[in-house]
Structure formats: structure tokens, C-alpha cells
Amino acid sequence: MHEGHLTHNNMKNDFKLSDLPKHNIYEVPDKYFDRLPAQIMERTAGAGYSPAPWYAPAWKPLRLALAPLVLLLVAGIVYFSQMRQEQEKSAVILATVGDEAIVNYLSTFAVLESSDFAELPSLSSPDMTAEFLNVSPKAAEEELEYYQLEMTDY
Amino acid sequence: MEDKEILDKFANPESRNLAFNQLIRKYQQKIYWHIRKMVIDHDDADDLTQEVFIKVWKNLENFRQDSQLYTWLYRIATNECLTFLSSKRKKFFLPINDVAAELTEKIDSSPDIDGDEIQLKLQKALLKLPDKQRLVFNMKYYDELKYEEMSEILGTSVGALKASYHHAVKKIEEFIKRD
């Protein structure tokens, strides 16, 4: 149906959008679309642009590869923190055990092995102090002199 | 010039300006008219069209070619329109109907709008629709986009778009019969 046939009465009675020819009622100033590209290009000169970072092409596969590693890391942290908590708990429990109970336990269950006996001679070695204290005999002597510990009675 | 060629040229710093100029020339009218039908006023449409292309300039190198260039441009333009209309309401604390009334008044008074009675009525009827439904109507009726393309642009399912367009047509017909 032609546009002109749609009179006011037709509209009111039985208007169908499909009967109406498509028409753009809006207008632009003369030569607007000839000028627009230049106006935009002028603005882009001051706008700068955001180039893709150098790692952009590798970023997507890298993200996919990193995801399981991060998960593994998190799982590891959780696991080790739980282990540490367990150890601390054991230490707390052990601290509550009385000396008498420990001595009883050791005298009942501890077994000395031949390697323990092999270490006995080294206990009398003159270097024992140095080995255990991590201090030279000379330094130890100097300390004794400084604090006059040799004169002290225990 | 094909989009692929424009994008390739844009990636090269030496031909970037030339490529972008060609991109503007290829899409300026589609983008402008898409915006103009939403905001009605030429000056607003001009500002928004320029903003769209400035955004395209800034982000084109990050454009992933898993969607078509023109659907990406439409999406940017659509977002600009919706943001503009929304900020207009917030700025003047206007309800939807008052913005529609303002735009309707522009249709009556603007010197760069020219149409017969029924065409003007159609535009006024369109302004009674919510912004997103108006977008759907314009894209289907005027721009003749496929529902699949509209779905990509608007991030809405094809079914919902079909229903939205169907209801828009019914509302417009009712409005014109009643008015």
C-alpha cells in the first residue's frame, strides 16, 4: 500500500505496521558525512590509542597454563599449613605429658642400638664443647675470663 | 575494503590512520543512524557518534576477531546510547515518560526532521517503548539485522528478541490506532 493511502481514518481503523513504507524522517546538515571522518581523525590525534601489550598474544594460553599451577600452589599451601598445625598440636600434647610418664615410657620401650654405643667414645673428645656450642676453646676461655665464671662457685 | 584488510592495516603503525579513516567512512552512517533514532537530536547523535569512533580508535587493536567488526561497533554504539539516555534521566531526575516527552517535543519542533503525519506518529509511538525494546525494534525494522546478529550485539537470546520485537510492533499499532 502506498504511503499516501494511509489516511487518518485508515490509521484509526486498521493500522498495520507492515503496510507502512519504511522512511527515515531524520535529516543531517549538508555534507555532514563528508566532514565527520576529518573531525574524528582530528580528535584521534590527541586521543592516543591503547596498543595491545607485547604479551597479549601469549597471555591467553599462558593464563590457561597458569591456572592449574595456581591451583596446585594453593593446594600445597593449604596442605603444609595443615601439617604445621598438626605438628604444633602434637608438640602441645607432648608438653602436657609429665616427666615421670616420659621416663617410664623410655625405660619400657626405648631400645639402645649399637650405633648409640659407637658414639660413646666421641663424647669424651676435647672438641665436644666446640662442636656443641659452636664456639672455639679460645673464645670460650675469653668469655669465662670476662664474666669471671671460673671464680664462681656452683 | 574488507574488515580484515582494515584491521591488518590498522595493526601497522604506518597505515593506521589511513585504515581508521576507511573504517569511519565505511561505518559512519550505520552508526550515526543507529544512534540518531535513539537520541533523536542531531547534535547529541553527532557527539555520541564521535565518542563511539574515539573508543573504537583506542580499543581496535585489542578487538578480538571472534566477532564481526560491525557487531562490535554496534555494541559500542548501543552502550553509548543507553548510557546517554540513562544519564539524562539521572541528571534531571526525570522518569522515563518525561525523557520520552522531551524527545517527542524534539520530533515536533526540530527543523531537521521531516515526515508525514503517520511517520511522525510512528516515531512518537516508538518513544513510548522502553529504551531496550526501542533498540530491538530499530535494529530489526530499520537496520534489518538478523536476530542472531542482534543477539550478539545485545547479549540477549534470539527468543527474547523475537518476543520483544513482536510486542513492540503490537504496542506501536495499538498506539497509532488509539491516538
What pLDDT is attached to residue B69? 93
> Contact, B91 vs A2, CB < 8 A?
no
Q: Mutation target for A interface from B25, B53, B120: give the one with most A CBs within 10 A.
A: B53
CATH class as words, domain B1-93: mainly alpha
Give, as one character, the DSSP assignment of residue A53. P
Name the phi and psi angles at A63, rounded to 5. -60, -40
| Chain A residues with beta carbon closer than 8 angstroms to that of B117 | 8
Q: Is A26 helix (H, G, I), strand (E, B) or coil?
A: strand
Determine the residue type at A143.
Answer: E
The ipTM is 0.86
pLDDT at B137 over 80: yes
Of B49, B57, B116, the CB nearest to A44: B57
| Chain A residues with beta carbon closer than 8 angstroms to that of B112 | 26-29
What pLDDT is attached to residue B77? 97
Determine the residue type at A146.
Answer: Y
What pLDDT is attached to residue A154? 54
A113 CB burial (10 A radius; 0-12, 13-18, 19+): exposed
What pLDDT is attached to residue B76? 96
What pLDDT is attached to residue A142? 81
Q: Do B28 and A37 touch (CB under 8 A)?
A: yes
- How many angstroms separate the CA of residue B166 from the nearest CA in chain A? 11
C-alpha cell at B108: 515536533
| Chain B residues with beta carbon closer than 8 angstroms to that of A40 | 24, 50, 53-54, 57
- How many angstroms separate the CA of residue A13 from the nearest CA in chain B? 6
> Contact, B89 vs B95, CB < 8 A?
yes
What pLDDT is attached to residue A139? 79
Segments making up each domain of chain B, as ranges: 1-93, 115-179
What pLDDT is attached to residue A2? 45
What pLDDT is attached to residue B16? 93
What pLDDT is attached to residue A4? 46
Q: In terms of residues, how long is chain B?
A: 179
Determine the residue type at A110.
Answer: A
Name the phi and psi angles at B94, rounded to 5. -95, 140
* B152 pLDDT tier (thresholds 50, 70, 90): very high
For chain B, the straight-line distance linking the first and the last C-alpha, in angstroms and rounded, comes to 46
Average pLDDT, chain B: 90
| Chain A residues with beta carbon closer than 8 angstroms to that of B58 | 47-50
What pLDDT is attached to residue B15? 92
C-alpha cell at B107: 520530533
Q: In terms of residues, how long is chain A?
A: 154
The owner of cell 507502512 is A20
Q: Mutation target for A interface from B16, B20, B119, B172: give the one with most A CBs within 10 A.
A: B119
Of B69, B73, B58, nearest in space to A51 by CA: B58
- How many angstroms separate the CA of residue A68 from the nearest CA in chain B? 25
Neighbours of B100 (CB within 10 A): 20
For residue range B81-116, list pLDDT tens digits in order: 999 998 887 766 666 567 788 888 888 888 878 878
Name the phi and psi angles at B113, rounded to 5. -125, 125
What pLDDT is attached to residue B138? 95
**What's the rounded Cα separation, in Å, for the pair B136 and B33?**
14
Report the share of chain B in percent with pLDDT over 90. Answer: 68
Q: Do B54 and A43 touch (CB under 8 A)?
A: yes
Give the count of Cβ contacts less than 8 A between chain A and B: 99
What pLDDT is attached to residue A140? 75
Rounded average pLDDT per 10-residue block, chain A, 154 residues: 50 76 91 95 77 62 83 91 86 80 77 67 58 70 73 58
Q: Do A11 and B37 touch (CB under 8 A)?
A: no
Neighbours of A84 (CB within 10 A): 10
What would the 3-class secondary structure string for chain B be? CCHHHHHHHHHCCCCHHHHHHHHHHHHHHHHHHHHHHHHCCHHHHHHHHHHHHHHHHHHHHHCCCCCCHHHHHHHHHHHHHHHHHHHHHHHCCCCHHHHHHHHHHHHHHCCCECCCHHHHHHHHHHCCCCHHHHHHHHHHHHCCCCHHHHHHHHCCCHHHHHHHHHHHHHHHHHHHHHC
Of B49, B72, B16, nearest in space to A39 by CA: B49
* In chain A, residues 43-82 whose CB comes closer than 8 Å to chain B: 43-44, 47-52, 56
* B146 pLDDT tier (thresholds 50, 70, 90): very high
CATH no. of B115-179: 1.10.10.10
For residue range B19-65, list pLDDT tens digits in order: 999 999 999 999 999 999 999 999 999 999 999 999 999 999 888 77
**What's the rounded Cα separation, in Å, for the pair A115 and A117?**
5
